[in-house]
A and B are shown apart, each in its own frame.
Chain A
Amino acid sequence: MTSVAPSTEPLLAVRDLKAWYGESHVLHGITIDVRPGEVVTLLGRNGAGKTTTLKSIMGVIDKRRGSVRFNGNELIGLSSRHIARQGIAWCPEERGIFSSLDVRENLLLPPVVAPGGFTMEQIFDLFPNLKERLHSQGTKLSGGEQQMLAIGRILRTGARLLLLDEPTEGLAPVIVQQIGHMIQKLKTMGFTIILVEQNFHAAATVADRHYIVEQGRVVDEIANAELEANMDKLHRYLGV
């Protein structure tokens, strides 16, 4: 496995991360680095452990071992609420839109954890649809709008590291494209992003590097520039 990462200090350094659901051992040692401003993807088959990796970084899984350092601070013993306060925000795979909250309340729910977050106006510039639906029940939105809401609300918080779990899953191609542009834009604004994606063609347009996850381990790392050359290998990993 060749290291293709640029040589800046990592913003997030994950070392030998292990995680369990109850007795079931799911992550067997994940090691990844993410540098400030990078977009890094986790690719892998269904059930490989991508979601669990994000959850373990976020601290929503109780039983986890190894090391997760963010800005030099160890997160592994912290609860998710303290991890969020350090400036990490998570957009879960199932989106987590609250049905008992309207769109506005959903947007305003996550507390601001650091200065420099988006204003409501900036969120509406990025996702104009949301502005029209402010008083609709959160779960009455279309799938695409719910995804925009789920991402929009974490941009308000000022978190600089975003964990996005399959943001394009199940969405129409035109929405997938819109979300791709949005990630591109966030990247130019200096956000650091870990992106879990099934669709690596979409991911390839924005990512710097790709980590391949298999059975709870990182088995390979591919720089985006070398993606074309590694297509065969990638297809084998992903079983597509």
Chain B
Amino acid sequence: MAEIFGIPAAALYGQLLLGFINGAFYATLSLGLAVIFGLLNIINFTHGAQYMMGAFVGWMLLTYLGIGYWPALILAPIIVGVVGMVIERLLISRLYKLDHLYGLLLTFGLALIIEGLFRNGYGVSGMSYAIPAELSGGVNLGFMFLPLYRGWVVLASLVVCLGTWFMIEKTRLGAYLRAATENPTLVQAFGINVPLLVTLTYGFGVALAGFAGVLAAPIYAVNPMMGSNLIIVVFAVVVIGGMGSILGAVVTGFALGLIEGLTKVFYPEAAATVIFIIMAIVLLVKPAGLFGREA
């Protein structure tokens, strides 16, 4: 059997793939957080719960309405995004003139409420969601076996991340968003509806979390706490990449997933902490994050 640095090659590739998949979730989730933070200046602590809602809505669509994976991949993010917009209009929008801390407390409290509601309704054991038939099985790449669904997760996340980057950096709507991030007063004085832009942006960032949730449903059990475990790591990713940087969120997300995977191979004891160690180092050396603009 082939070995690399004394590690069986198949095990190495397997962990790299796992790292890449985790990286895909880190990237999609931290991208949503970065988009929201950029315009709303709010650290959306509800993000993990909204990711969980995505998975749950996907599961509910299937269980109660017989709506399958592919439509759910579109519908669930929209539903979660709309719920997010309602929350933004009713609650978050009242906090923009107050200290950041209030937004943090509100979104954290909302996460607890949402997770509590789902735990009440569905318990903590978790439900399974079948991999869609088209994507079951896998292909032998010669050097490793690639389960099709995992390849799909990476591909779909990459496409969504790149699409988001394109929309923000290259379109008219994206220009509004970037401008409003810099100087909302002036953008509003040009006649642009900034509050609407803010609501849509929050909805979009939340929909990204919902999308990641649907992608995750067939891999991890659909369970009310699935977001709260993940989101801590995602916040570390956002801190490392730099708050508010779009490309930074995506690149850092994938890179840290890979680093985590490699650590599992070479020094498994550190796998759970490596991201936080990197976060500490980055905070010491470059407090604004690797891709962040120095304030």
Contact = CB atoms under 8 A, between A and B. Distances in A.
Interface of A: 58-60, 79-85, 89-90, 92, 96, 98-101, 105, 108-111, 113, 154, 157
A100 B182 contact: yes
Q: Which 5 A-B pairs give the minimum distances between C-beta atoms? A: A84-B191, A110-B190, A80-B189, A100-B178, A105-B175
B118 interface: no
Given A96-B183, A98-B183, A81 B175 contact: no
Given A98-B178, A98-B182, A58 B189 contact: yes
Interface residues of B, number: 18
Given A108-B172, A109-B175, A109-B176, A99 B191 contact: no
Contact of A101 (B178, B188, B194): B178
Given A105-B175, A108-B172, A108-B175, A81 B194 contact: yes
Contacts of A100: 178-179, 181-182
18 contacts: A58-B189, A60-B188, A80-B188, A81-B189, A81-B190, A81-B194, A89-B190, A92-B186, A96-B183, A98-B178, A98-B179, A100-B179, A101-B178, A111-B191, A111-B192, A113-B191, A157-B190, A157-B191
B185 interface: yes
Contacts of A59: 189
Contacts of B192: 81, 110-111
Nearest to A84: B191
Given A98-B183, A108-B172, A90 B178 contact: no
Contacts of B179: 98, 100-101, 109
B188 A110 contact: no
Interface in B133-181: 172, 175-176, 178-179, 181
A58 B194 CA distance: 16
B125 interface: no
Contacts of B186: 60, 92, 96
A94 to B, nearest CB: 9
Interface of B: 172, 175-176, 178-179, 181-183, 185-194
Nearest to B187: A109
Contacts of B185: 60, 80
Counting chain B CB atoms within 10 Å of each CB, which of A99, A108, A113 scores highest? A99
Given A101-B175, A105-B175, A108-B175, A90 B182 contact: no
Contact of B190 (A79, A99, A111): A111
Contacts of A90: 189
Contacts of B178: 98, 100-101
Nearest to B178: A100
B183 A81 contact: no
B66 to A, nearest CB: 44
Contacts of A98: 178-179, 182-183
Nearest to B194: A81
Nearest to A99: B182
Most chain A CB atoms below 10 A, which of B176, B178, B179, B193? B179
Contacts of B182: 98-100
Nearest to A104: B175
Contacts of A89: 190
Nearest to A92: B186
A74 B181 CA distance: 30
Contacts of B190: 81, 84, 89, 109-111, 154, 157
B191 A85 contact: yes
A109 B175 CA distance: 7
Nearest to B176: A109
A195 to B, nearest CB: 18
A24 to B, nearest CB: 17
A84 B181 contact: no
Nearest to A95: B186
Contacts of A58: 189
A59 B190 CA distance: 11
